[in-house]
Amino acid sequence: MCCANVPDAAMDPAIFFTELKRRKVYRVAVAYAIVAWLLIQATSILFPTFEAPSWVMKVFVTAVILGFPVALILAWAFDLTPEGLKRSDEVPQTQAIAPKAGKKWTAIIVAAAVLATSLLAFQFVRTRKSLTTELPKQTASTALQDKSVAVLPFENLSSDKENAFFAQGIQDEIITTLSRISGLRVISRTSTAHYNSAPENLAEIAQQLHVSHVLEGSVQKAGDQVHINVQLIQAETDAHLWAQSYDRRLNDIFSVEGEVAKSIADSLRTTLSPQEKARVEAKPTDNPDAYVIYLRARDYQTRPDNLLQDFRSAINLYEQAIGLDPKFALAHARLSASTSNLYHFYEPIEPWKQKAHAEALESLRLQPNLGEGHLALGLYHYYMESDYDAALRELGLAGNALPNDGDVGLYTAAIERRRGHWTEALTAYLRAEAIDPRNSVMLYDASQTFFGLRDWHTAAERMDRVLALFPDSFNVRIQRAYIEFFWKGATAPIKAAVESLPPNLDPDGVVTFARWDVSLMNRDAVAAEKALAACQLDTVASQTGVPLPKSYLQACVDLVRGNVAKARAEFEAARPAIEKTVANSPQDGVRHGQLGLLYAFLGRKDDALREGQRAMELKPISHDVIEGAVVEDFYTLICVYVGEKDKAISRIERLLTVPFAVDYADESVTLSDLRQRWEWDPLRNDPRFQKIIAGPEPKTWYK
């Protein structure tokens, strides 16, 4: 037996461990572990280089693991002597390998350990760098293997320029169809919208979008005849991988998107699963008139500033399309999503809520696996029910059917943000940014997130990128100026932004509100009154989404002037309209907060506090950190005007550290707001308030 000369080894642990050391089992174990790790690291690099199947790596690692106990058994059973290997029980201790040789083995082990540590450090640094830097520039060899594609705007060759929506719609539907293929990476239409139809600098555009391939196209429509020309280009080499022309009658146009998507997949050597093939080949409708109206609706739905009238127009057109084809599942889904957006941003009334739910369910009844249907239902749960778990569940189903749809990731990030899961939300936004770097909607939403966290520098940087993509967006220009105000306390950028806009541009009264707001920040009552007089609307959309009668805004001007009696009369004139908005939207916390502030201005303390409390009950910050913070801001301002100043200041101290207690409106709580806005004037002489505005802005706390 191999242990014949140590009969008590099994009995005496001290003798056993001494024997392990003499037979160099420890040394072999350490050496084996280090060498095995080095080999695994090396093969993880070499095997993919030679395109070895994945099972080869698994077999190799398994063999290495199984070899470890074998090595230990051999180390116990055999020893290295000047005459070569011998069984350990046949070798006297004096004939074992010389100490000098043992030192050489030790030196080899130490060197291997140093090498292993160096490789580990290199791997760590490389991994860290990959997480914090932009995607690497693609080389020609990797680009050819990369299955990423951007669909540039299609050129409208129709003699009737009104058909531009049709060319844009065909591009949009091809992107939507491609987004159903998991083996491709497809850039959103939002990212490509501002490019020309056939640019000369394809390689530069591909680098900006982080893609290897670009699809160009043109559309010509004359009556019911449609000519579509498309070509797939490898951007870095300018090689045309595939091109095709389609001449179809309008009633036969529906299959083109699927044919183009399958041809692109074939050109990029992407295999479609049976489910993907079915989704790609599915026709949205058999009614050509319904399809044309649907494309018009999409044009309104996807406009960058998403105004109230845009949503209303989209809803009206989707309803017309469904009237022509009640089984048009995709139109039902888009109608639901448009209605949810209208509810969330402008009109949170019960009929819109019921309609959004019914249309989403109908789309899924007609087509149970429709990704857009699950997306619409998820949006309903998010915007209308605040049921975040149900929303995420539907978004997960939508993501399975639409693996390249940017809205799925965007809404997922937004829900995590609203739940106060800041790390998850920011990670999702940054991941989406790396994949789709020029998606203005994503960049805008990310900017709003950093804005809510009072990270002014990053918020400004993201909004600047949105502004570079859409320099004519009045909304982005105004909000970028507000970020400058919150950051540095400067009102001049807001004034400059509104003055740079065309004089007749005032959708929903948004520009009027900004002019009025910045004028009162500067205590320029004349300019504020002039802005209101120039507005042709009876109500103006505030930044919180609550429609405010002009009489309410005029009352605020009168307060700044010190004319309390006139202000109270104007507030009283505005009261019925604001009470009606609450009656129409009884579950909307922000509207209750606005009504509470109106009551506070009117001196109705009990009513004001009741409405403020109701607002916080409807939107507790523990469930909705965005609107929850806004209604807490309203309650704080209510306290100021009902004589609860100590309570208001205590709340201010807390809200200065709360995410999203900042807004583009009068109830916002930042140091710049507290220092500049007239709404906080009743606190100016309070020592606690003076100490707050004299100090630096506290850190915003979030997890």
Q: How far apart are CA 8 and CA 671, in angstroms?
A: 79
**Residue 639 and residue 531 share a domain:** yes
**Residue 686 and residue 647 share a domain:** yes
Q: Which of 101-115, 225-239, 658-672 has the lowest mean pLDDT?
A: 101-115
**Range(s) of the domain holding residue 168:** 144-283
CA dihedral sign of residues 68, 70, 75, 81? negative
Beta bridge partners of residue 220, listed in sequence order: 227
Instruction: Dump strand ranges (E) for 235-293.
Output: 239-249
**Residue 351 and residue 210 share a domain:** no
Task: Look at residues 243, 264, 283 and tell me which one is the last residue of a structural domain.
Answer: 283
Q: What type of residue sits at position 203?
A: A
Asked if residue 474 is part of any domain, the answer here is no
- Report the alpha-carbon angle 541-542-543, nearest 5: 120
Q: What is the mean pLDDT of residues 530-539?
A: 95
Q: How far apart are CA 415 and CA 409, in angstroms?
A: 10
Q: Which of 86-95, 100-109, 436-445, 610-619 has the lowest mean pLDDT?
A: 100-109
The three state secondary structure string of 628-686 is HHHHHHHHHHHHHHCCCHHHHHHHHHHHCCCCCCCCCCCCCCCHHHHHHCHHHHHHCCC
pLDDT at site 57: 64
pLDDT at site 421: 93
pLDDT at site 298: 93
**Residue 164 and residue 49 share a domain:** no
pLDDT tens per residue, range 271-308:
999 999 999 999 999 999 999 999 999 999 988 777 89
pLDDT band at 558 (very low <50, low <70, confident <90, very high): very high
Element (H, E) at 150: strand 148-151
Instruction: Map tokens 């922000």 to a residue.
Output: 590
**Residue 444 and residue 300 share a domain:** yes
Neighbours of 572 (CB within 10 A): 14
Say if residues 591 and 581 touch (Cβ distance below 8 Å): yes
Q: How far apart are CA 555 and CA 571, in angstroms?
A: 6
CA dihedral sign of residues 61, 66, 67, 72? positive
Share of the chain above pLDDT 70, in %: 82
Q: Which residues are CB-neighbours of 172 under 8 A, at least 6 positions away?
A: 189, 295, 298, 302
Instruction: With a cut of 80, say whether residue 661 has pLDDT above it.
Output: yes
**Residue 351 and residue 388 share a domain:** yes
Q: Which residues are CB-neighbours of 296 under 8 A, at least 6 positions away?
A: 165, 169, 317
Bigger pLDDT: 116 vs 33: 33
Asked if residue 625 is part of any domain, the answer here is yes
pLDDT at site 10: 47
pLDDT at site 196: 79
Number of domains in the chain: 4
pLDDT tens per residue, range 485-498:
999 999 999 999 99
pLDDT band at 12 (very low <50, low <70, confident <90, very high): low
Instruction: Dump strand ranges (E) for 174-224.
Output: 185-186, 213-222
pLDDT at site 537: 93
Asked if residue 537 is part of any domain, the answer here is yes
Instruction: With a cut of 50, say whether residue 120 has pLDDT above it.
Output: no
Q: What is the CATH number of the domain that holds 307?
A: 1.25.40.10
Neighbours of 438 (CB within 10 A): 24
Say if residues 670 and 699 touch (Cβ distance below 8 Å): no
Q: What is the CATH number of the domain that holds 522?
A: 1.25.40
Element (H, E) at 215: strand 213-222
Task: Look at residues 432, 448, 469 and tell me which one is the last residue of a structural domain.
Answer: 469
**Residue 158 and residue 40 share a domain:** no
pLDDT at site 160: 77
Asked if residue 482 is part of any domain, the answer here is no
Supply the mean pLDDT for the chain: 85
Q: What is the mean pLDDT of residues 528-553?
A: 93
Strands 185-186 and 148-151: parallel
Q: Which of 248, 228, 332, 336 is nearest to 290 (CA)?
A: 332
**Residue 399 and residue 454 share a domain:** yes
Asked if residue 266 is part of any domain, the answer here is yes
CA dihedral sign of residues 142, 144, 148, 154? positive
pLDDT at site 60: 67
pLDDT tens per residue, range 313-326:
999 999 999 999 99
pLDDT at site 252: 82
Neighbours of 56 (CB within 10 A): 12
Say if residues 194 and 469 touch (Cβ distance below 8 Å): yes
Asked if residue 561 is part of any domain, the answer here is yes
Task: Look at residues 105, 131, 157 and tell me which one is the last residue of a structural domain.
Answer: 131
Asked if residue 7 is part of any domain, the answer here is no
Sequence length of the chain is 703
Q: What is the mean pLDDT of residues 419-433?
A: 87
**Residue 659 and residue 535 share a domain:** yes
pLDDT at site 686: 98
Instruction: With a cut of 60, say whether residue 81 has pLDDT above it.
Output: no
Q: How far apart are CA 384 and CA 630, in angstroms?
A: 17
Q: What is the mean pLDDT of residues 542-565?
A: 94
Question: What does pTM read for this prediction?
Answer: 0.75
pLDDT tens per residue, range 140-183:
334 334 899 999 999 999 887 778 889 889 998 999 999 999 99
Asked if residue 136 is part of any domain, the answer here is no
Q: Which of 372, 374, 406 is nearest to 392 (CA)?
A: 374
pLDDT tens per residue, range 59-79:
667 777 777 777 667 666 656
Q: What type of residue sits at position 204?
A: E
**Residue 351 and residue 218 share a domain:** no
Backbone angles phi, psi at 506, to 5 degrees: -160, 55
Beta bridge partners of residue 216, listed in sequence order: 231
Instruction: With a cut of 90, say whether residue 111 has pLDDT above it.
Output: no
Instruction: With a cut of 70, say whether residue 123 has pLDDT above it.
Output: no
**Residue 458 and residue 406 share a domain:** yes
**Residue 278 and residue 355 share a domain:** no
pLDDT tens per residue, range 609-648:
999 999 999 999 999 999 999 999 999 999 999 999 999 9
